[in-house]
Amino acid sequence: MDFVWLLALGCFFVVTFLLLNGISSLRTDK
């Protein structure tokens, strides 16, 4: 079960870093 919850945590952070990247490129595009 640990694997499932740790995987979920990992996914949250990956998506968050992608969001960070997205916001960053939005700034560059302005």
Partner 1 sequence: MDFISRLNSGGVALHVFVSGIAHAGAILMTINTFLQIGLFTVILLACVKPLGLFMANVYLGRPTLLDRLIRPIELWFYRVAGIDSKSEMTWLQYASSLLTFSFVSIIAVYGIQRLQSLLPLNPESLDAVSPDSSFNTAISFVTNTNWQGYSGESTMSYLTQMLALTVQNFMSAAAGMAALVALIRAFVRQETTLLGNFWVDLVRGTIYILLPLSLGLAIILASQGVVQTFSPYREVALLEPTTTSEGKSITTQKIATGPAASQVAIKQLGTNGGGFFNANSAHPFENPTPFSNLLQLLSILLIPAALCLTFGEMVGDRRQGWALLAAMSIVFFIMLGISLYAEHQGNPALAKLGVDQATSDLQSGGNMEGKETRFGITNSVLWSVATSSASNGSVNSMHDSYTPIGGLVAMWLIQLDEVIFGGVGSGLYGMIVFAIATVFMAGLMVGRTPEYLGKKIGAFEMKMASLVIMLPCVVVLLGTAISLMLTQGREPISNPGPHGFSQVLYAFSSAANNNGSAFAGLGANTPFYNGILGLSMFIGRFWMLLPVLAIAGSLAEKKKIPNSNGTLPTHTPLFVVLLIAVVVIVGALSFFPALALGPIVEHILWTKN
User: What is the binding site for partner 1 (CB under 8 A)?
Assistant: 1-2, 4-6, 8-9, 12-13, 16-17, 19-20, 23-24, 26-27, 30
CA atoms in the 13 A half-sphere facing the CB of 8: 4
Distance CA 26, CA 30 (A): 6
**Per the structure block, which two tokens stand in for 18?**
């992608």
